[in-house]
Structure 1
Amino acid sequence: MRATPIRTGLIVLLAGLTAAACTTSKTTASHLYVLTPMTHAETAQIKSKLFTVAIARLMMPAYLDRPQIVSRSSSHQLLLAEAERWGGNLNKNTRQVMADNLAIAFESSNIGMVPVDAEQAPRLNIEIEVSSFEAWPDGKAHLAANWRIINEHGDIIETRSSELTRPISGKGYEAIVQSMSLLLADLSREIAAPVLRIYHETTDPSHPS
């Protein structure tokens, strides 16, 4: 039996739709990742802290502001992983992880991390400007950031730059993200040190710096 032109056209159309559906399914399948803090912060302790700190601002370069994970194939070229994506907004994820890390770093002191929109203004505000945060072809994850600590009166009392690296132990993007989380822990420790010093100088001037 000869197929009519209409029947043949329907067969071709259905085949095309099936192929398109398969292609769409393949291209939209992706793995999702999130950065994680050192451990889970005990947020319930925040209310008992007398000296409060907040991450007032965290900025990232525009090329990182996307769902895909960005790495470098060379010092001048970026690699966009279409199927390897962040499970949420990278800036918000980074800011929350930094806050959790600092809360952990301050557990043994009387310092508490609070959100920027807290009812009471924090004693110190931390501003962080990230200039690089990705895997490089040298097998390491790199984090470069400028940061400063501002007191409750708006005075800048500490300004520093951090250049940090972590080897990527393993293959694939899960290993990359794990190293990036460790970099945030390293940056948190660098920031925590002067905050602790400022806290002791403020609450106990006789305390050694």
Structure 2
Amino acid sequence: MKTSVRVIVLTATALLCACASPPAEHFYTLDAVAHGSPPAPGNSALSIRLGPVNLPEMVDRPQLVLRSGPNEVRLMEARRWAESLRSAIPRVIGSNLKRQWQDVQVSSTLDGTTAPARYSVAIDILRFDSTLGEAVELEARWRIRRDGKSLQAGSMAWREPVQGAGYEDLAAAHDRALASLSRQLATSINAAERAP
């Protein structure tokens, strides 16, 4: 009898401890796409400063935010970005742009660089939606200045399918969507370089 009570107490204690421990946290990163485009023609010695990058308040947080319905989202407390999206997005776009030219200097308004850049690119991320196992949606607009003078503006909306059911697949889909934005920016800057 004493053994049975002891087993019950130990089992109950183990269950309480399991319930009390927080769920394991998982962290995800955004990365440049592995296979970039070949260097774009035109001036290879470019300098570009990215930023500011503005984000919707809804996604400007450490937790992954999942779209679960037309008017509903879920904050995934145990699934978080390893760095703020305000830092990650310009870092990834900068890495992608470096794949477009052989010799380009890319800085961000967040890295404290004070050297002047030929081009500055301000980016407004209007939509950064995530639907697990389905797709991510990126909507952005940008303003490009050359030598301090306003040059052009552009925008894009992109839906990238998620190639798997996991959270890492969701992050990879965001990588591909940001690569599409990077290509649009590279095209705009390259056209500006060719213009008189």
TM > 0.5 fold call: yes
Residue number in structure 2 paired with 1:60: 55
Aligned length: 177
Cα drift, residue 71 of structure 1: 1.5
Cα drift, residue 91 of structure 1: 1.5
Cα drift, residue 26 of structure 1: 3.3
Cα drift, residue 120 of structure 1: 2.5
Instruction: Decide whether the 8 Å contact of 1:74 with 1:136 is kept in 2.
Output: no
Rg comparison, structure with higher value: 1
Cα drift, residue 184 of structure 1: 0.4
Cα drift, residue 133 of structure 1: 0.8
Aligned residue for 1:170, secondary structure, equals coil
Aligned residue for 1:102, secondary structure, equals helix
Question: Which is helix-richer, 1 or 2?
Answer: 1
Amino acid at match of 1:26: P
Residue number in structure 1 paired with 2:41: none
Cα drift, residue 111 of structure 1: 3.8
Amino acid at match of 2:120: N
Residue number in structure 1 paired with 2:107: 114
Residue number in structure 1 paired with 2:86: 91
Rounded to whole Å, the distance in 2 between the matches of 1:137 and 1:52 is 37
Rounded to whole Å, the distance in 2 between the matches of 1:156 and 1:163 is 23
Q: Which runs of 4+ in 1 moved over 6 A?
A: 15-18
Cα drift, residue 138 of structure 1: 8.6
Residue 189 (structure 2) pairs with residue 195 (structure 1): yes
Structure 1 pair 177/160, CA: closer, same or farther in 2 (3 Å)?
same
Uncovered stretches (5+) of structure 2, i.e. residues with no partner? 1-8, 37-43
Uncovered stretches (5+) of structure 1, i.e. residues with no partner? 1-11, 42-48
Identity %: 26
Rounded to whole Å, the distance in 1 between the matches of 2:35 and 2:20 is 38
Residue number in structure 1 paired with 2:153: 159
Taking structure 1 as the reference length, the TM-score comes to 0.75
Rounded to whole Å, the distance in 2 between the matches of 1:38 and 1:146 is 21
Amino acid at match of 2:186: A
Residue number in structure 2 paired with 1:22: 18
RMSD: 2.5
Question: Which is strand-richer, 1 or 2?
Answer: 2
Rounded to whole Å, the distance in 2 between the matches of 1:104 and 1:187 is 13
Residues 181-192 of structure 1: pairs in structure 2 closer than 5 A:
181-192=175-186
Rounded to whole Å, the distance in 2 between the matches of 1:131 and 1:119 is 28
Instruction: Decide whether the 8 Å contact of 2:132 with 2:162 is kept in 1.
Output: no
Residue 75 (structure 2) pairs with residue 80 (structure 1): yes
Taking structure 2 as the reference length, the TM-score comes to 0.80
Residues 102-181 of structure 1: pairs in structure 2 closer than 5 A:
102-107=97-102, 111-116=104-109, 117-136=112-131, 139-153=134-148, 155-181=149-175
Rounded to whole Å, the distance in 2 between the matches of 1:152 and 1:23 is 59
